[in-house]
């Protein structure tokens, strides 16, 4: 991501000063120069990146500015989401303005380039295994509506919940989450948390089965996921609290009777085992004494040690089809 960001921000620095937006903005030393040269809005849905930008004195916003001469887009893993984001940017950039899109060669830059060519001439340059593609915004090519529709919130054909391309396991329930649900007791009650809740697939299942749950906290770093969780949990709106937080770095709701968690082990395109470990340390600390924690993870991820160190008692409940479910009791 850093190489892609460097290429994109260098391009922005070569352009005449004007008003623009950086989508999926992430911290990089060149971003500070970009902000000095342009009147720039940084937009970012992922809380961890927002915190890093804020730490460097940058302001992140969720709203598009009234006028926008250009838009710079960092890579997204999901192609539907990426093209939908290009279409969104197209709608906001003034006629004749520019869009710059960067992608890693191994992240499908070449095929993205072909798709972008449906919007007009694409100028490109390559550096550090990344490709920068630049387009002028002219008119409203018909393909844009298809891209917007494909990337929009939609109900999953598999489980009927609201979801959106690019969210974790967006088309169907993750096999690990399904295994976790099988192992949870039927009588969870009191105040609990779906930690790293995504679009709320675990929370919906729990609330629809267990009337004794008085409050469920759903917490995720991805703002888009929480917007879908809000729709999916609307029937229980008086019993839920949604939190846009980085669970590895920010204070979590405390004194929980129980927590369920399918933690992430990727940050963007990068694999990060410590991320899951940090989140689980925080989860253990959020439990009340004797509160209960259930965690599902890929079998090879080293989470047992965290539970051993931070719980009064812990166990592996099952290991099956490449997953394991861990159980811990708060102390």
Ligand X SMILES: C[S@@+](CC[C@H](N)C(=O)[O-])C[C@H]1O[C@@H](n2cnc3c(N)ncnc32)[C@H](O)[C@@H]1O
Binder among 88, 174, 230, 304 for ligand X (CB under 6 A): 174
| Interface with ligand X in residues 213-242 (CB under 6 A) | 220-222, 225
In the complex with ligand X, which residue's Cβ is closer, 64 or 244? 244
Q: Min. distance of Cβ 101 from ligand X in angstroms?
A: 23
The size of the interface with ligand X (CB under 6 A), counted in residues, is 19
Binder among 116, 202, 295, 307 for ligand X (CB under 6 A): 202
Binder among 48, 81, 164, 232 for ligand X (CB under 6 A): 48
Cα 100 from Cα 23, distance rounded (Å): 10
Told to check if 264 binds ligand X by CB under 6 A, we report yes
In the complex with ligand X, which residue's Cβ is closer, 73 or 193? 193
Q: Min. distance of Cβ 263 from ligand X in angstroms?
A: 6
Which stretch, 14-22, 168-176, 303-311, 321-329, contacts ligand X (CB under 6 A)? 168-176
Q: Min. distance of Cβ 184 from ligand X in angstroms?
A: 12
Q: Min. distance of Cβ 201 from ligand X in angstroms?
A: 5
Q: Min. distance of Cβ 319 from ligand X in angstroms?
A: 18
Q: Return phi, psi of residue 39, to 5°.
A: -90, 95
Nearest by Cα to 284 from 329, 235, 316? 329
In the complex with ligand X, which residue's Cβ is closer, 168 or 294? 168
Told to check if 326 binds ligand X by CB under 6 A, we report no
Instruction: Go through 243-270 and write b for each residue having 16 or more CB atoms within 10 A of its CB, e for each that does not.
Output: bbbbbbeeebbeebbbbbbbbbbebeee
| Interface with ligand X in residues 177-196 (CB under 6 A) | 177, 196
Q: Min. distance of Cβ 187 from ligand X in angstroms?
A: 21
Cα 282 from Cα 275, distance rounded (Å): 11
| Beta strand residue intervals within 139-225, DSSP E | 154-155, 162-163, 190-195, 213-220
For 317-324, the CB contacts below 8 A with 24+ separation are: 317/183, 318/179, 318/183, 320/179, 321/175, 321/179, 322/298, 323/175, 323/176, 323/179, 323/296, 323/297, 323/298, 323/299, 324/296, 324/297, 324/298, 324/299
Cα 199 from Cα 222, distance rounded (Å): 9
Per-residue tokens: 123 = 């100028």
Q: Which residues bind ligand X (CB under 6 A)?
A: 48, 168-169, 174, 177, 196-198, 201-202, 220-222, 225, 246-248, 262, 264
């Amino acid at each position: 991501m850093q190489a892609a960001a460097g290429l994109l921000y260098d391009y922005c620095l070569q352009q005449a000063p004007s008003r623009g937006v950086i989508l999926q903005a992430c911290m990089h030393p060149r971003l500070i120069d970009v902000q000095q040269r342009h009147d720039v809005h940084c937009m970012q849905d992922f809380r961890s990146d927002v915190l890093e930008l804020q730490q460097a004195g940058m302001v992140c916003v969720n709203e598009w500015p009234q006028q926008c001469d250009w838009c710079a887009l960092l890579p997204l893993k999901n192609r539907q989401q990426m093209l939908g984001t290009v279409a969104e940017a197209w709608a906001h950039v003034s006629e004749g303005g520019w869009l710059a899109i960067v992608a890693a060669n191994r992240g499908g830059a070449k095929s993205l380039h072909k798709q972008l060519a449906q919007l007009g001439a694409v100028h490109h340059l390559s550096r550090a295994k990344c490709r920068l593609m630049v387009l002028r915004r002219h008119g409203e090519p018909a393909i844009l509506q298809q891209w917007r529709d494909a990337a929009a919130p939609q109900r999953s054909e598999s489980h009927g919940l609201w979801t959106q391309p690019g969210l974790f396991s967006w088309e169907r329930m993750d096999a690990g989450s399904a295994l976790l649900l099988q192992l949870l007791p039927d009588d969870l009650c009191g105040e609990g948390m779906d930690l790293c809740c995504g679009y709320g697939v675990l929370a919906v299942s729990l609330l629809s089965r267990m009337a004794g749950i008085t409050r469920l906290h759903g917490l995720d770093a991805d703002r888009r996921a929480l917007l879908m969780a809000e729709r999916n949990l609307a029937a229980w709106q008086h019993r839920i609290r949604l939190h846009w937080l980085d669970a590895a770095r920010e204070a979590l709701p405390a004194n929980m009777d129980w927590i369920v968690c399918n933690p992430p082990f990727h940050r963007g395109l990068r694999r990060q085992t410590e991320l899951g470990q940090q989140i689980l340390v925080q989860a253990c600390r959020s439990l009340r004494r004797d509160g209960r924690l259930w965690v599902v993870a890929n079998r090879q991820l080293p989470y047992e040690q965290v539970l051993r160190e931070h719980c009064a008692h812990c166990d592996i409940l099952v290991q099956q089809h490449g997953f394991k479910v861990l159980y811990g009791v708060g102390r």
